[in-house]
Amino acid sequence: MQSTTGTALAFAIYAGLMAFVVYSCMYGFRKPFAAADYAAWDFGDFSYKVLAVCAQAGGYLCSKFLGIRVIAGLRPERRLRLILTLTASGWVALLFFAIVPAPYNLVFMFLNGLPLGLIWGIVFSYIEGRMSTEIMGMLLGTSFVLASGVTKFAGKILMTDFGISEAWMPFVAGAIFFLPLAICAILLNAVPAPSAEEVRVRHARLPMDKKNRRDFLRIFGAAILPAVCAQMLLVILREVRDCFANEIWVETGYSHTPDVFALSEIGVTLALLVMSVAIFSVKMKNTHRAFSIAHWMVIAGFALTAIMTWFFMNNWLSPFAWIVASGVALYAAYLLLICVYFERFLTAFHVRANVGFLVYLGDSGGYLAAAGVIVAKAFFLFSYGWTDFLKISCILIGIVGAGLMSLSLWLFRGLYQSQGSKSS
């Protein structure tokens, strides 16, 4: 038994680590530009940085809508080539971003985001439907946090220490991350398919055609809607926190400490890794009970996001401690939702679907809402700095999100009872 457990843990760490590196390196093509302010490129009353964020988010948003169909129907033999092709496309867009003068190069920031939004669904398809999906998913998910900070730190260093211009910095940063991404993508592609026992327990994750997607929404659409809306709210917080981290650190007094980008996210990452190990150590054979517990864990993440922000507003936490603590709660809620909640849902209700389809439902709406929120804040709510805006958002979203997940728990309990499902 100990040998089997050790082998399972070793496999989970290996596959999770390969997925982690691939997705972390993808951030090297997406996030370094956020470390610059592009103030010299502003024109009139328009902030070029805000326009660039919106352009990239627009491309990323379009890819999320495409992902509902593409990732849902993805076949295993296409995964590696698709990862490399999409990443290379995003990198080429950064080359033209550097060459074409502003503001005309904004179109290439859109084209940079367009292919990269599909990478997560491809990478997660390697690890879903397994006995160790939760820990591998949490390992993969920590890349959201660590890679965001590290790649922005890399972008800042390229400008301050190596004299790379704001125009060329994103492309040069991509050059640093392409080779490790390609190597680890090849290693990840060598991971064996789920075993017969994993298929028996977690059920096969099959490609979904149009009829499968329609049938899923007819049966489960109303019940899954609150969780999808909660995911959308978390995406909004993630985007505000990520894209305007530079402005938030400046506003809170850290303008001359570029290492704060990495240090803050390392703290968040370590906390999430501890949580991953704790989740892996808890074995629950009753999948419906595990699904219910997943609800409560996501609810706790939402509540803690609001509580930590309230502490900061009352001067009980320093800005750095607040960024770390609220980041842990925010990312815990998001990762538990997409890696534990959705995984356990498919297992509990024996659904012909895959996690990527569910995640892209929420992410597509989330990135659309995030773009709208950023535009509204930038052009209509001039009295709020990004720090104040993030504080208000954390409080409101923490409360509303906890309510949505409570509604989801109630709806799924009713659905389970009406279907007369057997606990597995």
The confidence score (pLDDT) of residue 349 equals 85
Report pLDDT for 202. 85
SS (H, E, C) 125-147: HCCCCCCCHHHHHHHHHHHHHHH
| Per-residue pLDDT reduced to its tens digit, 326-349 | 999 999 999 999 988 998 898 888
In this structure, is the dihedral angle defined by the CA atoms of residues 63, 67, 71 and 74, taken in order, positive or negative? negative
Separation of alpha carbons 96 and 399, rounded Å: 43
Least confident of 27-41, 218-232, 249-263, 394-408: 249-263
pLDDT at position 423, please?
42
Residue 196 burial by Cβ neighbours in a 10 Å radius (0-12, 13-18, 19+): exposed
Confidence of residue 421 (pLDDT cuts 50, 70, 90): very low
Q: What is the pLDDT of residue 4?
A: 54
User: CA-to-CA distance for 106 and 109, rounded, in angstroms?
Assistant: 5
The answer on pLDDT for 3 being more than 50 is no
Q: Is residue 233 classed exposed, middle or buried when 0-12, 13-18 and 19+ CB atoms within 10 A define those classes? A: buried
pLDDT tens readout for residues 115-156? 999 999 999 999 998 888 888 888 888 887 778 778 988 998
**C-alpha distances in Å from residue 290, one per residue of 199, 286, 293:** 18, 6, 5
Percent of the chain residues past pLDDT 90, beyond the cut: 52
Q: Which amino acid is at 277?
A: V
Please report, in angstroms and rounded to a whole number, the separation of the first and last CA atoms in the chain.
22
331 part of a folded domain: yes
Asked if the model's pLDDT at residue 282 lies above 50, the reply is yes
**Distances in Å between the alpha carbon of 118 and those of 71, 207, 413?**
7, 15, 32
State the average pLDDT for the chain.
88
Instruction: Place 2 in a pLDDT band, splitting at 50, 70 and 90.
Output: very low
What pLDDT is recorded for position 224?
A: 94
Residue 284 within a domain: yes
- In terms of Cα–Cα distance, which of 369, 384, 392, 387 is closest to 241? 387
Could you tell me the CATH number of the domain that includes residue 258?
A: 1.20.1250.20
The pLDDT assigned to 298 comes to: 95
pLDDT higher at 277 or 359:
359
Q: Which of 360, 386, 358 is nearest to 373 (CA)?
A: 386
Q: Is 424 inside any structural domain?
A: no
- CA nearest neighbour of 175 among 162, 193, 188: 162
Contacts of 81 (CB under 8 A, 6+ apart): none
Residue 83 domain-assigned (yes or no): yes
Q: Is the pLDDT of residue 241 over 80?
A: yes
In which domain, by residue range, is 226 found?
Answer: 2-419
Say what the pLDDT of residue 420 is.
57
The arithmetic mean of pLDDT across residues 265-274, rounded, is 83
Please give the average per-residue pLDDT across 215-221, as a whole number.
Answer: 91
* Count of domains observed in the chain: 1
Q: How would residue 228 be classed by pLDDT, with cut points 50, 70 and 90?
A: very high
Q: Can you give the pTM of this predicted structure?
A: 0.83
* pLDDT score for 422: 47
